[in-house]
Amino acid sequence: MPPFSVLDLAPVPEGFTPSDALRNTLDLAQHAEAWGYNRYWLAEHHNMVGIASAATSVVIAHVAGGTKTMRIGAGGIMLPNHSPLVIAEQFGTLDALYPGRIDLGVGRAPGTDQRTLRALRRDPTSADTFPQDVLELQALLGPVQADQVIRAVPGAGSSVPIWILGSSLFGAQLAAMLGLPYAFASHFAPGALMQALQVYRERFQPSAQLDRPYAMVGVNVIAADTDEEARQLFTSAQQSFTNLFRGTRGKLQPPIDDIESYWSPHEKAQAMNMLSCSFVGSAKTVQEGLEGFIAQTGADEVMVAAAIYDHSKRLRSYEILSEVQQAMKKAA
């Protein structure tokens, strides 16, 4: 039975502030640690009023400082937005503060729109050098070489584990070539999931970090005490994805009773395609869905997102999921 982990986008619900969101992030992390989740990741997004984790390294430090044993990391850092040296220094510092608990997942998407990308002072073509940037980052976090002039301090020699994040075959091929663990973003871009996993596993080359392929898959889980309640809670995520197509991103909206009155048939088809790796319902319903998904993908780890408006309901969803995992372990 693969371990379960948490992907927290630090959502800012309507009527609340980023301060509220970051307090909720730490509270969820502390509960997740008590419930036995394996790791807790935060993601880099910019210019989005509904996501409070833009300064991802800072939020990771906030969460790591409020927890004790769970791995904390980035899922991920959008490497084209940064110089590898700065990221090596940031995550080397995190590792110096919280030794052996920090993960560094990196992706090549900008995590924002093109205008914001320019505001970040990055070249729009910087994603083209992503493989070279990953190699540079590895070198900066690895053992210091005799002739090495540029060092990450802290960072050099820390060997913070690097993950490749992706939603296409490109990331799968790169992770396989470099012998790195691979996390697929099937929680919002599931189209190439099975093909990417196949490519990654077939082409994997062992490395100093990893001797065999290790694939994490992202899913959405909205769990509640009844199927009906979970379906209503899920309408917050459904509204968010509908708004994405409308170009009207905002804060996380409260759930509604009739999602069919919110979206058009075309918007519904688009949103539910992106949300197809979602498991919504009571403990029994979620368990049945996850068992089939894990059997289909052979996932080594499951990373779970939950866009739920009410923080107490979000906590309850992850609590139910932890109970589901325990039941799956017993049944295995």
pLDDT tens digits for range 24-70 = 999 999 999 999 999 999 999 999 999 999 999 999 999 999 999 99
Q: How far is residue 152's CA from residue 139's CA, in Å, rounded to a whole number?
A: 10
The region of weakest confidence among 99-113, 234-248, 253-267, 282-296 is 99-113
Polymer length in residues for the chain: 332
Smallest Cα–Cα separation from 91: which of 10, 22, 162?
162
Assigned token pair, 236? 């917050």
59 vs 222: CA distance, rounded Å: 24
Which residue type occupies 74? A
Instruction: Give the end-to-end CA distance of the chain in Å, rounded to a whole number.
Output: 7
How far apart CA 178 and CA 157 sit, in angstroms, is 18
What is the rounded CA–CA span in Å between residue 302 and residue 43?
16
Write down the pTM of the prediction: 0.96
pLDDT digits (tens, 9 = 90+) for 58-103: 999 999 999 999 999 999 999 999 999 999 999 999 999 999 999 9
Cis peptide, bond prior to residue 154, ω within 30 of zero: yes
Structural fold of domain 1-160: TIM Barrel (3.20.20)
Three-state secondary-structure class, residue 205: coil
DSSP for 294-308, written as a single string: HHHH--SEEEEE---
Domain boundaries, the chain: 1-160, 215-331
pLDDT classification of 116: cutoffs 50, 70, 90: confident
On the question of pLDDT at 115 being above 90, the answer is no
Q: Which of 252, 256, 144, 143 is nearest to 208 (CA)?
A: 143
Rounded distance between C-alpha atoms, residue 279 and residue 298, angstroms: 17
